[in-house]
Amino acid sequence: EDQVTQSPEALRLQEGESSSLNCSYTVSGLRGLFWYRQDPGKGPEFLFTLYSAGEEKEKERLKATLTKKESFLHITAPKPEDSATYLCAVQAVQGGSEKLVFGKGTKLTVNP
Amino acid sequence: NAGVTQTPKFQVLKTGQSMTLQCAQDMNHEYMSWYRQDPGMGLRLIHYSVGAGITDQGEVPNGYNVSRSTTEDFPLRLLSAAPSQTSVYFCASREGPYGYTFGSGTRLTVV
């Protein structure tokens, strides 16, 4: 069964305190790993897609990396506006169909 | 370019009532899908469509129907609402290898 596990469930940081969020996955036929940001009351907002082990992508203070079993979202010198829930999802192939399987998310709070 | 538009934003139903959640996208995406998001459960796939006239079930399809008569629209129908269907519903679309675009969601309460 395809599965995505995110840790920690919640993370509280001080402004400027760098850290990493983890996403481990088991999937047959990985077609891509996605990171999303979700603010309260809003839909998920696309951040990154990673396709192969060793791939890295950056956007402002965020950097996503991928291995064969997990992905990390590194947050460098976070600001309060980075507070949100970060979702990880894998695009898997099941019975010839592609489906997006989500983790439960990591709620990040950055205090000023 | 509005992206993915969902209506209504909020809805309260009585048990047994029916309703349709609307989803429209203006990006000419072939793939569209519906998810529900519940506390502690993450986003779960209800139904999806790879193009007009083609739909398939996701992880939690019971109690929901879909159809896809045009590329732009992908409505989700609740035939007989139950309290277990209280949730936040998101519609998403994508094209090719790019990330999925989500709507802003419909918060549904069934009493």
The answer on pLDDT for B98 being more than 70 is: no
* Interface residues on B facing A, Cβ-Cβ cutoff 8 A: 4, 31, 33, 35, 40-45, 48, 50, 56, 58-59, 90, 92, 97-105
Query: Model confidence over B10-59: pLDDT tens digits?
Result: 999 999 999 999 999 999 999 999 999 998 888 999 999 999 999 999 98
What is the Cα–Cα distance from A74 to B33, expressed in whole angstroms? Answer: 29
**Bigger pLDDT: A27 or A86?**
A86
Amino acid symbol at B107:
R
Tell me whether residues B105 and A41 touch, CB distance under 8 A: yes
Contact A77, A60 (CB under 8 A): no
DSSP summary character for residue B47: E
The answer on pLDDT for A20 being more than 80 is: yes
Query: Model confidence over A25-45: pLDDT tens digits?
Result: 998 877 899 999 999 999 999
**Which of B41, B87, B93, B100 should we substitute to test contact with A (largest number of A Cβ atoms within 10 Å)?**
B100
Tell me whether residues B100 and A34 touch, CB distance under 8 A: yes
Q: Is B84 helix (H, G, I), strand (E, B) or coil?
A: helix
What is the Cα–Cα distance from A83 to A13, expressed in whole angstroms? Answer: 9
What is the Cα–Cα distance from A102 to A94, expressed in whole angstroms? Answer: 15
**Bigger pLDDT: B33 or A98?**
B33
Q: Of chain A residues 42-101, which have a CB less than 8 A from chain B? A: 42-49, 51, 87, 89, 97-101
Q: How close does chain A come to B84, measured CA to CA in Å?
A: 19
Please list every residue in chain A whose beta carbon sits closer than 8 Å to the beta carbon of residue B50: 97
How many CA atoms lie less than 13 Å away from A53 in the CB half-sphere?
6
The answer on pLDDT for B1 being more than 70 is: no
The answer on pLDDT for A7 being more than 80 is: yes
Peptide bond into A8 cis (omega under 30): yes
**Which of B43, B44, B46 should we substitute to test contact with A (largest number of A Cβ atoms within 10 Å)?**
B43
Q: Is A1 helix (H, G, I), strand (E, B) or coil?
A: coil
